[in-house]
Copies of this chain bind each other. A is one copy, B any other.
Amino acid sequence: MTDPVFSESGAPQPVHGGESITFGENSALRLDCGIELAQFTLAYQTYGELNAEKSNVVLVCHALTGDQYVAGTHPVTGKSGWWNLMVGPGLPLDTNRYFVICVNVLGGCMGSTGPKETDPATGKPWGPSFPFVTVADMVRAQVMVLDHLGIDQLFCVIGGSMGGMQVLEWAVSHPERVFSAVPIAAAARHSAQNIAFHEVGRQAIMADPEWREGNYLLHGTHPHAGLAVARMAAHITYLSEAALRRKFGRKLQDRDTLSFGFDADFQVESYLRHQGSTFVDRFDANSYLYITRAMDYFDLAAEHDGNLASAFRNTPVRYCVISFTSDWLFPTPESREIVHALTAEAANVSFVEVKTDKGHDAFLLDEPEFFKTLVGFLNGAANRRGLKGP
């Protein structure tokens, strides 16, 4: 096949643009927090064509600030989908072969029910009264979408970061519905350091007086300043020190000498500020609070008497675990722990640590070794599954 990285085929546009399903009271979703969500909507996008056997489905799970617009042009931001390099004709998730679907997570802000949507019981935005959701709840909601579409089994469930957490949750809670699973730059539980960084972001949002105890939509205010700070802090953790040094070093921004002021003297400051200010235009502050909390709560072993291996007992799922050398947010030992647990259960697992200096964000970027690993795994699994070539 052509090198996916250098494929010149145009990015696919969503073939079923703006799909969503609203579930009514007959299909209420009982959340981990104990609350029943009686009416809710899940927005999703699909790319490629579902085959007659419905055997070519790849479920992509998005990360904290991602959404269902994996490829093509994002209808809100006008930018490319977040996995444009990955999903499309001739790309690793080849839409000539696979039917790719991505669901905006429950609690999100791109069409699925979340704190910025209207609570049907009150007619007002949910805001801080939105129930807490977990990664398992997100997966339960995705299961309902697939049931609705009549899809029994996923050929593959794949995702990075929080997407990888969903992949693990899927494979563990519905092993019979998952043929293969690819958790990327993920972990079986959120670490203390990661909880700490999330807490800084939440405190930044909640310290913004415009947050109004979470009721900013009712007041017509916007906690943009707090959300931007949260994004800036998080963004540093997505990169590696080496990448920051290579990309910015101590280079000055639009000036030859230091300003002796608090303007963005350094390019890295200017870059971070830009990351913060553009993020607030597309993301809801309360969604940020809820989704970071869902990640903090994720602990796959805790759901299985503290024993990660037992989560994988007798699993029929084919796993491909991928980590990146310079990822310090979800460092390789976290992936290795998953692999050790799978191995202890004699599961079918491949593990690749991709050498890169691009940090956690490497899963979103042009990383030839990563793509090659993935294509190899997917081809093998597709042949085993009896899928036709592209």
Contacts and interface: CB of A to CB of B under 8 A. Distances in A.
Interface of A: 32-34, 131-132, 189-193, 195-197, 199-200, 202-204, 206-209, 225-226, 228-229, 232-233, 236, 239, 241, 244-245, 247-250, 258, 260-262, 264-266, 268-269, 272-273, 276, 289, 293, 296-297, 299, 328, 331
A200 B276 CA distance: 10
A33 B250 contact: no
B269 A199 contact: yes
B250 A200 contact: no
- Number of chain copies forming the complex: 2
B189 A207 contact: no
B193 A260 contact: no
Given A192-B250, A244-B192, A293-B262, A236 B273 contact: no
Contact of A196 (B192, B269, B289): B269
Contacts of A229: 200, 203-204, 207, 229
Q: What is the interface of chain A mostly: helix, strand, loop, or mixed?
A: helix
Interface centre among A250, A261, A328 (most CB of B within 10 A): A250
A296 B189 CA distance: 35
Most chain-B Cβ atoms within 10 A of its Cβ — which of A200, A202, A232, A248? A200
A191 B228 contact: no
Contacts of A226: 207
Nearest to A209: B209
Contacts of A225: 207
30 contacts: A32-B260, A33-B260, A34-B260, A132-B260, A132-B261, A190-B250, A192-B241, A192-B245, A193-B236, A195-B250, A195-B268, A196-B236, A196-B272, A197-B233, A199-B266, A199-B272, A199-B273, A200-B272, A203-B228, A203-B273, A204-B204, A204-B207, A204-B229, A206-B262, A207-B208, A209-B209, A241-B328, A241-B331, A250-B299, A265-B296
A251 to B, nearest CB: 9
A269 B202 CA distance: 11
A5 to B, nearest CB: 27
B266 A192 contact: yes
B207 A244 contact: no
B200 A268 contact: no
Contacts of A191: 241, 244-245
B132 A249 contact: no
B276 A203 contact: yes
A100 to B, nearest CB: 32
B200 A233 contact: yes
A197 B239 CA distance: 12
A190 B268 CA distance: 12
Given A131-B260, A250-B299, 12 more contacts: A132-B260, A189-B250, A190-B250, A191-B244, A192-B241, A196-B272, A197-B233, A200-B229, A200-B236, A203-B229, A258-B297, A265-B296
